[in-house]
Amino acid sequence: MDLTGKVISSSCSVIKSVMSDVGPDIPGQPYSISVLKEGYCLPQPNGCTRADGTISLLLGPKTILVDTGGPWDRDFLLAQLEKRGLKPDDISVVVGTHGHSDHVGNLGLFPDAMIVVGSDISQGDLYLPNELADGQPYPIDDHVLIVPTPGHTGRDVSVLVKDTSVGVVLVAGDLFECCADEDSWRALSENPQVQEVNRRAALHTADVIIPGHGPLFKVQRVSTN
């Protein structure tokens, strides 16, 4: 199955490629997408890793922020919002794709937004019923869908955006570290078997994927018949 429940063709292979011809802004109707910060993951000689998560903004009927970066990104994030004429209280939905600090480190800037972290959805201190933990998507509206994509952690989610200029876009968090992560993602995964299933489903759903720690990339599906 793909992320929308459609059966995946067994006679279809996938080619991934970084979209060097596309900038940080993807037009769409009714939602456009801006990558406010491209995430990175840089192993250090001493065995440590420098990492920060991608921050994405959806502008449309609702103003949706997907991942907030780490606490060290606070001033950067506020400046990026201000650059677009936005204040924190203009953000209607904040999605944390998972609970790592480089993805949800600035949730406190948005006390009035609906907050999604993993399978928890809250508005203030009110927690809303949903079936994300049972594998069911949660629609924001007809064009934006929160889909469960666990594996990297136990309760990861991604955000699927329809009707953009490049087709279906998946803001994927750490379901994908980057385009060419085949040699690295398993070492960072709590459940590689589950994550592999969700990665395959994502590659058969999205036309473009925004990963957690690298540039966005295009997905091309090719029939092998």
* Residue 76 parent element (H or E): helix 74-83
C-alpha distances in Å from residue 110, one per residue of 114, 118, 134:
9, 17, 27
7 domain-assigned: no
Q: What is the pLDDT of residues 119-137, one digit of tens each?
A: 999 999 999 999 999 999 9
| Strand, coil or helix: 33 | strand
77 domain-assigned: yes
Q: What is the pLDDT of residues 89-120, one digit of tens each?
A: 999 999 999 999 999 999 999 999 999 998 99
pLDDT confidence tier of residue 6, bands split at 50, 70 and 90? confident
CA atoms within 13 A on the CB side of 16: 20
1 domain-assigned: no
98 domain-assigned: yes
50 domain-assigned: yes
Q: What is the pLDDT of residues 189-225, one digit of tens each?
A: 999 999 999 999 999 999 999 999 999 999 998 877 6
Surface-to-core class of residue 42, CB atoms within 10 Å of its CB (0-12 exposed, 13-18 middle, 19+ buried): exposed
With a CB cutoff of 8 Å and minimum separation 6, the contacts of 45 are: none
Query: Residue 128 is part of a domain; what is its CATH number?
Result: 3.60.15.10
Task: Work out how many domains the chain is built from and give that number.
Answer: 1
5 domain-assigned: no
Q: What is the DSSP string of 154-166?
A: TT-EEEEEEEETT
* Model pTM score: 0.94
The range of the structural domain enclosing residue 181 comes to: 12-223
